[in-house]
Amino acid sequence: MKELIEEIKTQIISALNLEEMTPADIDDNAPLFGDEGLGLDSIDVLELIVLMEKNYGIKLSSPAEGKAVFQSVAVMADYVSKNRKK
Amino acid sequence: MQRTLVKLFRFLPLPFAYGCMVPVIPFYMLFDRRGYQASYRFFRHRIGRGPIHSFLSVYANEFRMGQIVVDRFAFYAGRSFKMEGNEMPVFNRLAEAEPGFVQLGSHTGNFELVGYQLRSIKKMGVLVFSGETETVMQQRAAVFSRSNIEMVPVSDDLSHLFRLNEILRDGGIVSMPGDRLFGSQKRFNCPFFGDPAPFPAGPFMLAAQRSAPIVAVFVMKEGARRYHVYVRQLGAELDPDLPSRKRAEAMAQAFAACLESVVRQYPTQWFNFYDFWK
CATH number at A75 reads 1.10.1200.10
Torsion of CA B80, B86, B91, B97, to 10 degrees: 130
For residue B83, the model assigns a pLDDT of 87
Residues B88 and B41 in one domain: no
**Which positions ≥6 away from B82 have C-beta within 8 Å?**
B223, B225, B226, B227
Of A3, A43, B127, B247, whose CA–CA distance to A51 is shortest?
A: A43
B238 occurs within a structural domain: yes
Interval A40-77: pLDDT, tens? 887 888 888 989 998 999 998 888 888 889 889 999 99
Kindly report the pTM of this predicted structure.
Answer: 0.89
For residue B111, the model assigns a pLDDT of 85
Residues of A in contact with B155 (CB under 8 A): 63
For residue B47, the model assigns a pLDDT of 96
Is A15 within 8 Å of A48 (Cβ atoms)? yes
For residue A42, the model assigns a pLDDT of 79
Counted domains in chain B: 2
Residue B211 three-state SS: coil
Counted domains in chain A: 1
Residues B145 and B234 in one domain: yes
B275 occurs within a structural domain: no
Residues B57 and B187 in one domain: no
pLDDT, mean of residues B17-43: 91
- The mean pLDDT of chain B is 88
Element (H, E) at B90: helix B88-96
Question: Looking at the predicted structure, is the pLDDT value of residue B263 above 90?
Answer: yes
Residues B44 and B167 in one domain: no
Domain final position from B49, B76, B103: B76
Residues B103 and B158 in one domain: yes
Interval A21-32: pLDDT, tens? 888 888 888 888
B7 occurs within a structural domain: yes
Domain that holds residue B26: 2-76
For residue A20, the model assigns a pLDDT of 82
Q: Residue B161: closest CA among chain A residues belongs to which residue?
A: A46
Q: Which of A41, A46, A67 sits opposite B206 (nearest CB)?
A: A46
Residues of B in contact with A53 (CB under 8 A): 169
B31 occurs within a structural domain: yes
Residues of A in contact with B210 (CB under 8 A): 50
CA atoms B169, B170, B172, B174: torsion sign: negative
Question: Looking at the predicted structure, is the pLDDT value of residue A4 above 80?
Answer: yes
Question: Looking at the predicted structure, is the pLDDT value of residue B149 above 90?
Answer: no
B278 occurs within a structural domain: no
Interval B205-239: pLDDT, tens? 999 988 899 999 999 999 988 999 999 999 888 88
- Residue B219 backbone phi and psi in degrees, to 5: -120, 100
Residues B209 and B193 in one domain: yes
Domain that holds residue A33: 2-83
Interval B94-121: pLDDT, tens? 888 889 999 999 999 998 887 666 666 7
CB contact under 8 A, B169 and A53: yes
For residue B116, the model assigns a pLDDT of 60
Interval B117-134: pLDDT, tens? 666 678 888 888 766 666
CB contact under 8 A, B162 and A62: yes
Domain final position from B48, B76, B104: B76
B18 occurs within a structural domain: yes
**Which positions ≥6 away from A77 have C-beta within 8 Å?**
A1, A4, A5, A8
Counts for chain B of helices (H) and strands (E), in that order: 11, 9
Residues of A in contact with B243 (CB under 8 A): 17
Residues B68 and B173 in one domain: no
For residue A30, the model assigns a pLDDT of 86
B63 occurs within a structural domain: yes
Is B117 within 8 Å of B84 (Cβ atoms)? no
Domain final position from B50, B76, B102: B76
Interval B34-93: pLDDT, tens? 999 999 999 999 999 999 999 999 999 999 999 999 998 888 888 888 888 888 888 888
Of B20, B150, B9, whose CA–CA distance to B72 is shortest?
A: B9
Residues B111 and B240 in one domain: yes
Residues B228 and B258 in one domain: yes
Residues B190 and B262 in one domain: yes
**Which positions ≥6 away from B278 have C-beta within 8 Å?**
B198
Q: Which of A41, A49, A63 sits opposite B186 (nearest CB)?
A: A41
Residues B63 and B188 in one domain: no
E strand spans, chain B = 82-84, 101-105, 124-128, 149-153, 173-177, 187-192, 195-200, 214-223, 226-234
Residues B238 and B201 in one domain: yes
